[in-house]
């Protein structure tokens, strides 16, 4: 068996099954850090990772009667957590769909050939750029890109002219592109390369 | 499968392309590919460090989980379990006490604003002790043994406090609003002054002594309406419902706050009561004849035994200290004293 429970853990799991909250807390202390780290790797968000830890341990408490003390507990946590992560990942992917489209739009407008790995940086940075937009512009942009409303729909909804809406969306796109690419995709590329090297150097 | 593995690896390392990202989504989406993904991630999880130390916000997370468990367990109450109940009460105390304090605080503040009702604080000074107090308006004073003082947490307009027992007040003058002590039916109304009120429920008299300033003493339902000037002392007899005013040095009557125990022609019966209070002991006079013997003395920082021996010299009494019994819980019973006529 790969993940054999040590003797203390076997005892804690038996106690947990009996409803012992102190044993539960010991297991929480032992695994929450690892689980948090793992979830963050996949969900790329500290907040989401925290939620996974919470939900997973609540589930463990709820289902404590069904835990098999002969099976590795580490594996049990993994199974519970991954199911939670799966749901969260897919929900988020749906929400983030517009960011992928936006990426394509921005690339079309750019004359530079994109570096493949840019995408991960883009995904990490685009939210920040959207947040930086002025309030009204941000609202229009999100209605259009994220909620998928058409320009005439937004115009009616906000009681503004379609021309204004279009201008706002164009301005928003430009601001995001400028923010992301720092007006020059090569500048960002260089920065990323430097960062990567820095990380590699640190590791070695 | 090699391609997928590469994509997952890139994704986990945060160096992924759009293609890698879309691959991750489809891996998660379909059940059969999810099983593959699970297998890969399981290895990743396994290879991870044995145990990563609890994260930064570990405490906050732990609290949240506890709260959730508490909430759910309370919903399914009934499948009781000693340990769980113990745990729940532990979290409950931990979480709820600060919450309760805050809630009460806001509730009272709100109630007070809403209804104009006042929130009171109470000080109790147990027998054998005296303590200094400070009131919210800046007034201060001393509370004598076995006395209660109740006062509003926030004074608005006229200031009112309730007293049971004895206290000396140093009242701060306020432009608008008097300071009133309610004690056993007596009202002592003051502007900025220093005065003493003695009103123990078991004492037949209520005494008000004024050091500086001026106070007005009234009692509802009687024609008592007496304004005192400094160094005047008012004695109200509860039994006769009559007041008498005498002049002289009131220092004797307020000196308890400085640790003095002063008796000026006080009947022995009352001496016994005051000593009981002052020394947190039980003093029993065994012969009624002795009760009315007047006594005059001043003590400061003397032990009960010394006070009794002086008492025995100046009056025809003898006394006997009864050895305190040791209680089961390791505490001693109150010191008992028997007072008898001298042979």
Convert the pLDDT of each residue in B217-247 to its tens digit.
Answer: 988 878 888 888 888 889 988 888 888 888 8
Size of interface A-B (CB pairs under 8 A): 109
Measured between CB atoms, does A41 come within 8 Å of chain B? yes
Work out the pLDDT band at B212, boundaries 50, 70, 90. confident
pLDDT higher than threshold 90 for residue B292: no
- Inform me whether the pLDDT recorded for B30 exceeds 80: yes
The burial class, CB within 10 Å (0-12 / 13-18 / 19+), for A89 is buried
Residue B263 contacts residue B296 (beta carbons within 8 Å) = yes
Give the Cα separation of B240 and B103 in Å (integer): 48
Beta bridge partners of B29: none
pLDDT at residue number B75:
63
Mean pLDDT by groups of 10 residues along chain A of 204 residues: 66 85 86 89 88 91 85 88 93 86 73 64 81 87 83 87 90 82 54 53 46
User: In this predicted structure, what is the pLDDT of residue A23?
Assistant: 87
**d(C-alpha A101, C-alpha B282), whole Å:** 89
pLDDT, tens only, B75-115 = 665 454 555 555 666 665 555 555 556 555 555 555 554 45
Task: Give the global pTM.
Answer: 0.48
Please give, rounded to a whole number of angstroms, the shortest distance from the CA of B27 to a CA of chain A: 10
pLDDT over threshold 70, residue B50:
no
In percent, the amount of chain B with pLDDT more than 90 equals: 6
Give the dihedral of Cα atoms A104, A108, A114, A119; nearest 10 deg: -20
What's the pLDDT score for residue A81? 93
B51 CB neighbours in chain A (<8 A) are: 30-31, 33-34
What is residue A192's predicted lDDT score, i.e. its pLDDT? 58
* Percent residues over pLDDT 70 in chain B: 83
Contacts with B167 (C-beta within 8 Å, 6 or more apart), sequence order: B133, B141, B142, B143, B144, B147, B149, B181, B196, B197
Residues of B near A (Cβ–Cβ under 8 Å) read 10-12, 14-22, 24-25, 28-29, 34, 38, 41-42, 44-46, 48-49, 51-55, 57-58, 61-62, 64-65, 68-69, 72, 81, 83-84, 87
Cβ neighbours around B178 below 10 Å, total: 17
Cα(B257)–Cα(B143) distance, rounded to whole angstroms? Answer: 8
List the single range of A183-192, B36-45, B49-58, B72-81 with lowest mean pLDDT: A183-192
Task: Please tell me the distance from the alpha carbon of residue B124 to that of residue A164, in angstroms, as a whole number.
Answer: 72
**The complex's ipTM?**
0.78
Beta bridge partners of B232: B247
Distance, in angstroms, between B38 CA and closest chain A CA? 8
């Amino acid at each position: 068996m790969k993940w054999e429970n040590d003797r203390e853990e076997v005892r804690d799991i038996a106690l947990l099954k009996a409803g012992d909250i102190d044993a539960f807390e010991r297991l929480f202390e032992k695994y929450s850090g690892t689980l948090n780290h793992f979830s963050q790797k996949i969900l790329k968000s500290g907040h989401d990772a925290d939620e996974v830890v919470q939900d997973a341990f609540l589930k463990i408490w709820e289902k404590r009667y069904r835990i098999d003390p002969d099976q590795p507990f580490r594996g049990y946590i993994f199974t519970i957590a991954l199911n939670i992560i799966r749901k969260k990942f897919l929900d988020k992917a749906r929400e983030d769909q517009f960011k992928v489209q936006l990426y394509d739009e921005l690339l079309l407008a750019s004359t530079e050939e994109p570096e493949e790995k840019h995408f991960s940086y883009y995904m990490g940075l685009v939210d920040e750029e959207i947040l930086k937009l002025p309030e009204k512009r941000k609202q229009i942009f999100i209605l259009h890109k994220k909620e998928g409303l058409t320009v005439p729909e937004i115009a009616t909804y906000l009681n503004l002219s379609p021309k204004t809406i279009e201008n706002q969306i164009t301005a928003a796109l430009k601001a995001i592109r400028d923010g992301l690419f720092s007006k020059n995709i090569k500048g960002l590329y260089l920065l990323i390369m430097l960062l990567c090297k820095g990380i590699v150097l640190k590791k070695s | 499968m090699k391609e997928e593995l590469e994509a997952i690896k890139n994704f986990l390392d945060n160096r992924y392309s759009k293609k890698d990202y879309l691959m991750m989504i489809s891996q998660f989406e379909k059940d059969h590919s999810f099983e593959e993904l699970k297998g890969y991630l399981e290895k990743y999880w396994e290879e991870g460090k044995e145990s990563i130390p609890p994260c930064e916000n570990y405490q906050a997370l732990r609290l949240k989980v506890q709260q959730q468990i508490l909430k759910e367990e309370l919903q399914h109450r009934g499948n009781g379990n000693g340990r769980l109940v113990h745990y729940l009460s532990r979290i409950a105390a931990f979480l709820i006490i600060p919450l309760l304090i805050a809630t009460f605080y806001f509730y009272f503040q709100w109630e007070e604003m809403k209804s104009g009702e006042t929130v009171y604080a109470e000080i109790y000074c147990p027998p054998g002790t005296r303590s200094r107090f400070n009131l919210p308006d800046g007034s201060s004073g001393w509370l004598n043994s076995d006395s209660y003082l109740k006062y509003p947490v926030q004074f608005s307009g006229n200031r009112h406090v309730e007293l049971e027992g004895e206290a000396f007040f140093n009242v701060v003058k306020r432009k608008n609003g008097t300071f009133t002590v309610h004690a056993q039916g007596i009202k002592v109304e003051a502007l900025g002054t220093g005065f003493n009120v003695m009103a123990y429920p078991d004492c037949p008299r209520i005494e008000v002594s004024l050091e500086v300033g001026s106070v007005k003493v009234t009692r509802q339902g009687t024609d008592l309406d007496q304004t005192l000037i400094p160094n005047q002392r008012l004695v109200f007899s509860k039994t006769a419902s009559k007041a008498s005013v005498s002049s002289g040095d009131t220092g004797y009557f307020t000196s308890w706050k400085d640790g003095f125990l002063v008796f000026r022609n006080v009947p022995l019966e009352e001496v016994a009561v005051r000593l009981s209070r002052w020394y947190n002991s039980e003093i029993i006079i065994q012969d009624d004849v002795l009760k009315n013997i007047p006594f005059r003395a001043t003590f400061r920082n003397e032990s009960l035994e010394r006070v009794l021996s002086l008492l025995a010299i100046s009056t025809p009494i003898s006394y006997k200290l009864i050895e305190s019994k040791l209680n089961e819980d390791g505490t001693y019973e109150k010191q008992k004293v028997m007072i008898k006529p001298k042979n």
